[in-house]
Amino acid sequence: KAGVTQTPRYLIKTRGQQVTLSCSPISGHRSVSWYQQTPGQGLQFLFEYFSETQRNKGNFPGRFSGRQFSNSRSEMNVSTLELGDSALYLCASSLQASQETQYFGPGTRLLVL
């Protein structure tokens, strides 16, 4: 069974631009969560989607948003990029919402210049 896939793997943007990241969960998994990883703040929860609905949200500004499609694939969007948004963005999938075990993808590394 294929794992979680994320595209693109690397991305370079400039301040003020917006970016969209994509995540395809493990086949059969319906919940997708997003995390941001930075050297300073570590791994932080962004949000969780299940059945095309945002179920939970972390403590991030409204510039961070996401959505989930009927096939459980999810996209994350960051508008008006700031230098501090440079990070590794990780997607994790699980069978159901708030299920105990999450499986992570390889991440998308975003660099904002």
Question: Which residues of this chain interact with another protein, rule CB under 8 A?
Answer: 4, 6, 33, 35, 42-43, 45, 48, 55-56, 58, 90, 92, 97-98, 100-107, 109
Buried b (16+ CB within 10 A) or exposed e, 22-49: ebbbbeebbbbbbbbeeeeeeeeebbbb
CB of 19 to another protein, least distance (A): 18
Q: In angstroms, how far apart are the furthest CA atoms of the chain?
A: 39
CB of 26 to another protein, least distance (A): 12
Comparing CB distances to another protein, the nearer of 47 and 112 is: 47
